[in-house]
Structure 1
């Protein structure tokens, strides 16, 4: 009987499959694939957990940023209100100061005007008295001078009061 190569190939193939079955290669391959699938599943679950954690951190930081922005805005608004109050207060104080200084200046001007009028009156009175004395000294005697002087003095006192 002539055994051809096909027969030997078939016998070799059958022995090969028997050896694989005896060594339980398909089970080991299945275990390796299952382990690999479990590992990939675990990695996916870990990646999903990390992604969710990162999203929660992002959300928390965004909330904190918004809170910080709101707080900064309220601080700026408070500073603006305080600056406006200080400006208004300074403006009011300046106006009060100018008003007081103006009133004081007007009072000093009135006092100086009054002093000047009094000084002019006094000088006029002194000049009038001096002139009257000279005129009376040349035209009247001593008794008439005393009478005229007393009369003039009484008139001056009456006008000054």
Structure 2
């Protein structure tokens, strides 16, 4: 039943449409197509009378000029941004070059400092070896002196014992007199 109502409503709406209502001669006020044509012509006339197309054209021209100026500004901003980007890229390259030079100089200084440290270490070792050799020589000389002094002391003691056993009182007095004479001769 609903199908029947929908079908009936659909066909009745087709019969009441304005296209089907325009029957009869075209240039009649009873013809809706003619009335619509007259209203459209009148509407277009009113638009031309009030200069709406020129107003619309002016508004469109202003809008076009605004868009053109925005595009020009965008182009100039883009060129400025590209210039700044190129400037920053140059600065970055310069900074990178400077950093590379600093690193190279630091490496060179480090190598020079390492060579200097090696040379200083070699000199220090030579000085320490020389000082150790001097200490050894000094200790050796001291040991030789100590041995000589002890051997002299022992020899003197042995000679004293031998002389004391072999010497008489007259020989001792003669030796004392000779020694005094030698000392007087050397002092005067």
Aligned match of 1:63: 90
Q: Normalising by the residue count of structure 2, what TM-score does the alignment of the two structures yield? A: 0.67
Match among 89, 103, 110 for residue 83 of structure 1 = 110
Aligned match of 2:159: 132
Aligned match of 1:103: 130
Aligned match of 2:74: 47
* Cα offset, 1:2, TM superposition: 5.6
1:133-148 alignment runs, 5 A limit: 133-138=160-165, 140-142=166-168, 143=171
The 2-side partners of 1:92 and 1:82 are apart by 15
Aligned match of 1:74: 101
Structure with bigger gyration radius? 2
The 2-side partners of 1:2 and 1:37 are apart by 45
Q: Hey, which bits of structure 1, 4+ residues long, moved more than 4 A?
A: none
Structure 2 unpaired stretches of 5+: 1-26, 176-188
Pair 1:3 & 2:29 matched: yes
Structure 1 unpaired stretches of 5+: 148-161
Query: SS in structure 1 opposite 2:29?
Result: coil
**Change beyond 3 A, Cα 1:34–1:136:** same
Aligned match of 2:181: none
* Cα offset, 1:44, TM superposition: 1.3
**Change beyond 3 A, Cα 1:2–1:104:** closer
The 2-side partners of 1:2 and 1:89 are apart by 119
* Cα offset, 1:20, TM superposition: 1.6
- For these two proteins, the number of residue pairs brought into alignment is 145
Where relative contact order (Cα < 8 A, 6+ residues apart) is larger, the structure is 1
**RMSD of equivalent CA atoms:** 2.4
* Cα offset, 1:63, TM superposition: 1.0
Query: SS in structure 1 opposite 2:99?
Result: helix
The 2-side partners of 1:20 and 1:86 are apart by 93
The 1-side partners of 2:162 and 2:115 are apart by 69
Aligned match of 2:42: 15
The 2-side partners of 1:126 and 1:79 are apart by 68
* Cα offset, 1:128, TM superposition: 1.9
